[in-house]
Chain A
Amino acid sequence: MNMLTEAQAWKVLDTVADPEIPVISVTELGIVRAIDAGVDGLRVVVTPTYSGCPATEVIARDIRDALLQAGVARVDVEMRLSPAWTTDWIGEPAREKLRAYGIAPPGQCVPPGGALPLRFVPRNIPCPKCGSTDTARLSEFGSTACKALYRCQSCLEPFDYFKPI
């Protein structure tokens, strides 16, 4: 028997942190797509961030563990690819948390089918520490696949930029 309603289950998942970016939850990241109550448990639909993201399996396990611990008898985590995850699903409060944590939040996504400029490096990413837009990209890939490494030319601090995808 279920001890939790769907709304309560969402609240539980609000406390499950992203394993790589512990200041935001899996719900704030926008990867929990649905929670359905069944007869004998809950089904949680999750969408992966990147195809090869090694955190995906950890996230599925953390979600299952949190709900089991909250008293749900049975938890099925289902992976769903479509619609594909986009950083546009990260809400404003979570973007603020990223900034406070030292990660510049993602800009708006390029719409699919748009132009593919070469020699194009997104500039003017505001430094999450001092707010200066005088910043430069050091590496397109940073500590994880989803982040790029930047440096602020003003306060000279390096920082991660959550890439829009």
Chain B
Amino acid sequence: MTEQTQQASPEHVEYVLRMGDNALILGQRVSEWCGHAPVLEEDMALANMALDLIGQARMLLTHAGRLEGRGRDEDGLAFQRNEPHFRNLTLCELPNDDFARTMVRNYLFSAFMVLLWERLLQSRDAELAAIAGKSIKEARYHVRHAGEWVLRLGDGTAESHARTQRALDYLWPYTAEIFADTPADAVAEDARVGPAWSTLEQDWMAMVVPVLEAATLSLPARTPFRSHGKVGRHSEHMGHLLAEMQYMQRVYPGANW
């Protein structure tokens, strides 16, 4: 990978870091299914997609560390930051709960990522554009996989429908945060690093609403509720996730094998 020589703006770093944290934290959540999925095929599917997300996180965090220029690498960023320094969406850190909630979240998130990666192919940040070229291929099958399950579960038995609706009702308020811009969005858009995320909301709605409707799910109303993971104010679940994810590097800093 090419070395970044010039110092990037803190907002540029933040924009990339936020994406890296989303991939890392959701990758950690999805990996929790390893050995626990309802059927073997889904166990493999989820483990593989968690690996994709963690691979994307490695590229993004490595890049964020170089942009920042303070000598932090992917491991330093993943394992040695405290909760308020993580910039992921609250949506990504929420517990998996059941298979329905996992699938609805993967669907809502990866639909957004397909749209975002598409735009980032044209990023002026050449490394971010390269990561987008790689990751969009993966996001496309992530959204297909989760979308197929949302349809099957939503339009399935009374039990699967009820659980999928409950999952959507639970997750939907957290999706507002995706499109609530922070100062990093405006700076990234001006510098042509990437779009302000608010500009993707319409396309995202146009993508997910027909699928949710086909799945016979009712769309919850938007409420004033806002989560704030993007600016480091996380839910009560984040500390538990980090405690498990960072345990080894906290006990043995720099451990290697």
Contacts and interface: CB of A to CB of B under 8 A. Distances in A.
B55 A50 contact: yes
B74 to A, nearest CB: 13
A98 to B, nearest CB: 20
Contacts of B216: none
Identify the interface centre among B50, B52, B118, B143: most chain A CB within 10 Å of its CB: B52
Interface in B44-94: 44-45, 48, 50-56, 58-59
A128 interface: no
Contact of A52 (B53, B121, B211): B53
Interface stretch (A12-20, A32-40, A112-120): A112-120
Given A81-B59, A140-B45, A116 B133 contact: no
A51 to B, nearest CB: 3
Nearest to B207: A116
Query: Helix, strand, loop or mixed for chain A's interface?
Result: loop
- Looking at chain A, what size class is its interface with the partner chain? 20 to 34
Nearest to A120: B144
A83 interface: yes
Interface stretch (B96-104, B134-142, B186-194, B248-256): B134-142
A89 to B, nearest CB: 13
A139 B138 contact: no
A17 to B, nearest CB: 22
A140 to B, nearest CB: 6
Given A112-B136, A116-B144, A119-B148, A81 B130 contact: yes
A-B pairs with lowest CB-CB distance, top 4? A51-B55, A52-B55, A52-B51, A82-B130
